[in-house]
C-alpha cells in the first residue's frame, strides 16, 4: 500500500477503515516460521516437477495438499506479508482456485482432513484407497446446512408480503456484488429463492483474520440454515443472478426516473469542463466536477462561464442522480472525501486577476464515480478506497 502523508489522506483512510499502524518488525514468530516452512515445501515441489501443484482426485495426495495450502497462502493477507519478499518464483502472484472454500488453519493435518483424509488412522496416507473430492465434501456440507424451519409460520406472511411489494414496485432488487455488507433483517434472492437473515450471532475473528459470525437464515421454501456470514457472502457472490431486496421504508436513494410520490431532496451531478485551458483540454475525459443542488441542474450551471466554481467555462452535464430521502450535502461530502486524493490542483485567475482554486473538481474517470455511488447505495463504501494508480475502487 502506498504511503499516505497528508492529514487529509489520513482522514480519508480512517474514514474507509484502513489501519495506518505500522507493521511490527523483528524476528519471525513461530507461526511465521511455520508459514515459511510450508511455502518452501511448495517451492521444492515446483522445482522438482516444473509446474504448480494441482487439485484433482487423480493427483497425488501431497500434491493436492500443496495446492490447497498455496490457495490459502494467496488468500491470507498475513501470509502474503510474510512470504512476498521470499517469493522469487512469483508463486503468490498466480490466481488462486476460488472454487475452494477451506476454512481451516494452515495446518497440514487439518488440511488433510478437509481433503477427506482421516489422519487419526494408523494407516499410512499413501495407502488410502479413497479420498473424497472437495466437491463431494462441499455438497454434503450444503445438504447438512438446510433443515426444516419449524416456526416457518412466522416468516411465511413476510415472504408473501415481500413478493407482493416486489410485484407492485414498492420493493426493488439490486445486484449483489463484491462481498457487500449483510445486516440482520435483510432479504436476498439466492439460487432463485428468497432468503431472510433472521439472526446474527456474536462476531468473532476467523482463521483469515477477518470478522465473521454465525447466521440463522430462513428460505421461502420453509427451510433454514445456520451458515457463516462469509459463507452467505460467497454464495451470493458466486450466484451471478443473486439480488438484494430493497427495504420499502427507505426506497431507492437514487433514481433516474421522476416519480410523483418521491420525496426528492436534491440532485447529485457530474460535470465535464469545456475550458480551453491546456491541462484541462488534455485530460478532459477524466476531469470531473462532483456537486449537488436542491434545484434544477441546468439552472445551476447557467452562468458557468462567469463562475470560478465551473472553471470560468461552459460545462457538459455528464450524468445526474435524483436523491430521495438523503441529505445532499452529506452525500456530496462523502463522495468528495473518497476522491480527495485526486482533487484537481489548479489555479485560475478570476476577472480581477486574483488566483482561485476550485475544490470540487477531480482527476477521476466517470466509471469510478458511478461505482462509488453504487457502493453508497449498497451501504458498502466504507469497505473501499480509491486507488489513483489503478483508477478504481479497491477493497480496504
3-state secondary structure the chain: CCCCCCHHHHHHHHHCCCCCCCCCCCCCCHHHHHHHHHHHHHHHHHHHHCCCCCCCCCCCHHHHHHHHHHHHHHHCHHHHHHHHHHCCCCCCCCCCCCCCCCCCCCCHHHHHHHCCCCCCCCCCHHHCCCCCCHHHHHHHHHHHHCEECCCHHHCHHHHHHHHHHHHHCCCCEEECCCCCCCCCCCEEEECCEEEEEEEECCCEECCCCCEECEEEEEECCCEEECCEHHHHHHHHHHCCCCEEECCCCCCCCEECCCCCCCCEEEEEEEEEECCCCHHHHHCHHHEEEEEEECCCHHHHCCCHHHCHHHCCCCEEEEEEEEEECCCHHHHHHHHHHHCHHHECCCCEECCCCCEECCCCEEECCHHHHHHHHHHHHHCCHHHEEEECCCCEEEEC
Same domain, 91 and 158: no
More confident residue, 369 or 24: 369
In a domain, 136, yes or no: yes
Task: Please calculate the CA angle 136-142-143 and round it to the nearest 5 degrees.
Answer: 90
Does pLDDT of 121 surpass 70? no
Residue 372, in any domain of the structure: yes
Query: Do 150 and 260 fall into the same domain?
Result: no
Give the model's confidence band at 294: pLDDT under 50 very low, under 70 low, under 90 confident, else very high: confident
More confident: 190 or 396: 190
For residue 77, the enclosing domain spans 28-140
Residue 25 has pLDDT above 80, yes or no: no
How high is the pLDDT of residue 197?
Answer: 92
Poorest-pLDDT segment among 154-158, 190-194, 294-298:
294-298
Higher pLDDT, 73 or 330: 73
Question: pLDDT tier at 265 (50, 70, 90 boundaries)?
Answer: low
Is residue 23 assigned to a domain?
A: no
Assess if residue 360 is contained within a domain. Answer: yes
CA geometry: angle 104, 107, 108, nearest 5 deg = 115
- Whether residue 123 is predicted with pLDDT greater than 50 in this model: the reply is no
| Max avg pLDDT among 26-40, 238-252, 382-396 | 382-396
Shared-domain flag, residues 210 and 294? no
CA distance 211 to 201: 12
102 lies in the same domain as 191: no
Q: What is the rounded average pLDDT of the residues 153-173?
A: 84
**What is the torsion angle, in degrees rounded to the nearest 10, for the CA atoms of residue 322, residue 183, residue 160 and residue 170?**
-10
Q: What is the pLDDT of residue 27?
A: 67
pTM of the model: 0.38
Q: What is the mean pLDDT of the chain?
A: 75
Whether residues 388 and 258 share a domain: the answer is yes
Q: Is residue 22 part of a domain?
A: no
pLDDT reading at 280 higher than 60: yes
186-221 pLDDT, tens digit per residue, is 899 988 899 999 998 888 877 666 788 889 999 999
- The highest-confidence range among 57-61, 248-252, 346-350, by mean pLDDT, is 346-350
Out of 183, 215, 245, a domain closes at 245
Clarify whether residues 294 and 381 are in a common domain. yes
* pLDDT tens per residue, range 310-357: 888 999 988 888 776 677 777 788 888 889 889 988 888 777 777 778
Residues 152 and 111 in one domain: no
pLDDT number for residue 14: 57
Percent of the chain with pLDDT over 70: 72
CA atoms within 13 Å, Cβ hemisphere of 38: 27
Q: What is the pLDDT of residue 64?
A: 82
| Three cell numbers written together for 145 | 446446512
271 pLDDT band (50/70/90 cuts)? Answer: very high
The last residue of one of the domains, among 245, 274, 290, is 245
Last residue in a domain, options 140, 166, 201: 140
Evaluate whether 57 touches 134 at the Cβ level (below 8 Å). no
Same domain, 130 and 152: no
Q: Is residue 106 part of a domain?
A: yes
pLDDT exceeds cutoff 70 at 68:
yes
More confidently predicted of 265 and 158: 158
Do 390 and 259 reside in the same domain of the chain?
Answer: yes
Indicate whether 284 and 373 sit together in one domain.
Answer: yes
Both 266 and 367 in one domain: the answer is: yes
* 117 within some domain: yes
**Confidence class of residue 237 from pLDDT cuts 50, 70 and 90?**
confident
In a domain, 14, yes or no: no
Residues 6+ apart with CB under 8 A from 215: 182, 197, 198, 199, 200, 201, 226, 227, 228, 229, 232
Say yes or no: 258 and 390 in one domain: yes
Give the chain's domain count. Answer: 3
- Note the pLDDT of residue 127: 37
The pLDDT score that the predictor gives to residue 129 is 38
Amino acid at each position: 500500500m502506498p504511503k499516505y502523508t497528508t492529514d487529509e489522506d489520513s482522514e480519508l483512510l480512517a474514514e474507509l477503515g484502513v489501519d495506518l499502524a505500522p507493521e511490527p518488525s523483528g524476528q519471525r514468530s513461530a507461526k511465521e516460521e511455520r508459514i515459511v516452512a510450508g511455502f518452501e515445501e511448495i517451492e521444492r515441489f515446483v522445482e522438482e516437477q516444473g509446474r504448480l501443484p494441482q487439485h484433482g482426485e487423480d493427483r497425488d495426495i501431497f500434491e493436492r495438499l500443496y495446492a490447497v495450502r498455496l490457495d490459502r497462502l494467496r488468500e491470507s493477507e498475513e501470509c502474503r506479508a510474510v512470504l512476498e519478499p521470499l517469493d522469487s518464483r512469483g508463486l503468490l502472484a498466480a490466481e488462486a482456485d476460488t472454487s475452494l472454500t477451506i476454512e481451516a488453519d494452515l495446518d497440514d493435518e487439518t488440511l488433510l482432513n478437509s481433503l477427506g483424509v482421516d489422519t487419526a488412522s494408523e494407516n499410512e496416507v499413501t495407502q488410502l484407497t479413497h479420498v473424497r473430492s472437495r466437491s463431494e465434501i462441499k455438497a454434503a456440507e450444503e445438504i447438512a446446512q438446510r433443515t426444516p424451519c419449524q416456526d416457518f409460520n412466522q416468516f411465511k406472511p413476510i415472504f408473501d408480503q415481500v413478493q407482493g411489494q416486489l410485484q407492485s414496485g414498492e420493493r426493488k432488487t439490486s445486484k449483489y456484488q463484491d462481498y457487500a455488507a449483510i445486516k440482520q433483517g435483510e432479504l436476498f434472492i439466492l439460487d432463485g429463492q428468497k432468503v431472510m437473515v433472521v439472526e446474527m450471532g456474536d462476531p468473532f475473528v476467523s482463521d483469515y483474520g477477518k470478522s465473521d459470525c454465525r447466521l440463522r437464515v430462513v428460505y421461502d421454501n420453509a427451510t433454514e440454515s445456520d451458515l457463516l456470514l462469509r459463507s452467505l457472502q460467497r454464495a451470493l457472490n458466486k450466484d451471478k443472478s443473486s439480488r438484494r431486496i430493497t427495504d420499502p421504508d427507505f426506497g431507492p436513494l437514487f433514481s433516474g426516473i421522476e416519480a410523483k410520490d418521491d420525496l426528492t431532496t436534491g440532485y447529485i451531478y457530474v460535470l465535464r469542463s469545456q475550458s480551453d485551458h491546456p491541462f484541462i483540454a488534455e485530460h478532459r475525459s477524466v476531469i470531473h466536477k462532483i456537486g449537488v443542488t436542491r434545484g434544477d441542474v441546468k439552472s445551476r450551471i447557467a452562468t458557468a462561464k462567469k463562475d470560478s466554481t465551473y472553471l470560468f467555462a461552459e460545462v457538459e452535464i455528464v450524468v445526474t442522480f435524483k436523491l430521495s430521502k438523503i441529505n445532499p450535502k452529506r452525500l456530496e461530502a462523502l463522495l468528495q472525501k473518497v476522491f480527495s486524493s485526486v482533487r484537481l490542483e489548479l489555479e485560475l485567475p478570476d476577472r480581477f486577476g486574483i488566483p482561485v482554486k476550485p475544490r470540487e473538481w477531480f482527476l477521476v474517470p466517470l466509471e469510478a464515480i458511478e461505482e462509488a455511488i453504487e457502493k453508497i447505495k449498497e451501504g458498502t463504501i466504507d469497505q473501499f478506497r480509491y486507488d489513483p494508480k489503478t483508477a478504481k475502487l479497491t477493497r480496504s
